[in-house]
Structure 1
Amino acid sequence: MKQLSLLLVLSIFFSSCEKDDICDANTPTTPKVVIEFYDVANPTTLKNLTSLGIIAPGFTNGFEFTATSKIKVPLKTFQDTSILHFIQNGSMDPTSDDNLDEITFNYSRKTVFVSRACGFKTLFTLNTTNPITVTPDSNNWIQSVIVSQPNIENEDETHIKIYF
């Protein structure tokens, strides 16, 4: 009798599920900013990062990238500015050769409904007058930053180009 009751409950449960009740893993969510790195001496040539650590101020965990010229990092969805520390040699020990450059992303946000199961996602548009600022210091490894696509709506295209 218990098995029959359990089967009845399960059949009612699954028959009441609709397509919108499960968020498909392939459904696009809030996109990350896509950044490509280029050789400052040869601006059309992609340049692999040897070792890069990225972390937001005040956080203890960040992202590590090695041997790549293209990365994706998230922006804050609850405010119009994200500050990230880009640390050259930052994912390798020792830390004595780390070179930190601070980048500020300035943008506007738009919340878009995806579906009942997936909820909402945030789309970003980099500001036209001051989209990105690299805080100057005595040893910046980032030489130049160019916005190639200010609308961050997907991860299929490059949004930012960094030259070093």
Structure 2
Amino acid sequence: MKKIVFITLSLLLAVSFWNCEKDDICAEGTPTTPRVIIEFYDNANPNTLKNVTNLKVTESGQTDGFVFNGVSEIQVPIRTNDIQTILHFTANGDDSDISNDNLDEITFNYGTQEVYISRACGYKMTFQLNTTDGTVLTPDSNNWIQNIVISQPNIETENEVHVKIYF
């Protein structure tokens, strides 16, 4: 009896693999919902990339976030279930001295679109930054960010820079 059950299960497993189509497995490296690609530039010399140091990026109302150190390009996610994401960019936010933290708030305003990938992978979301107010820096008395420029409003891949920040 055990032998018959084993053979039956083996045949079912073999048939399921034979019926497996290419579209049943989401291949590694398949494009997913893209993050916003941001490059940092020297405000005094706008064509020169500038590395951020101890930068912490968190969503408004959250304490956990992403830390970046010694890089001029970062990738951050935005909400897929909304048309606005507010992120806090805290200079010196990842060092032990909280007295030197300088938080600047950037609001990303965008439209969303679901894009079908495949049966196995499902959908991904793409974003379109609004052309008039796609990114808004909340002014305060001590902004470390001086200017924001949208260089690519269509956020469909992570292969290009979407936003440039000058500081």
Q: Using structure 2 for the length normalisation, give the TM-score.
A: 0.93
Code of the residue aligned with 1:161 in structure 2: it is K
Give 1:13 shift: 2.5
User: What number of residue pairs does the alignment pair up?
Assistant: 164
CA RMSD of aligned residues (A): 1.2
The answer to whether the aligner puts 1:141 opposite 2:140 as a matched pair is no
| Residue of structure 1 equivalent to 2:80 | 77
**Unpaired runs of at least 5, structure 2:** none
Query: Which residue number in structure 1 is paired with residue 105 of structure 2?
Result: 102
Partner of 2:65: 62
The superposition leaves residues 37-57 of structure 1 with CA deviations (integer Å, 9 ceiling, x where unpaired) of 000111100000111100002
Cα distance in 2 for partners of 1:134, 1:77 equals: 21
Write the distance in 2 (CA, Å) between the matches of 1:60 and 1:160. Answer: 23
Match of 1:86 in 2: 89
What is the 5 A alignment of 1:14-163?
14-163=17-166
Identity rate, percent: 56
Question: Structure 1 residue 11: deviation in Å?
Answer: 1.1
Whole-Å Cα distance in 1 between the matches of residues 6 and 42 of structure 2?
Answer: 66
Structure with max Cα Rg: 2
- The CA distance in 1 between the partners of 2:27 and 2:155, in whole Å, is 21
The alignment partner of 1:162 has SS state of strand
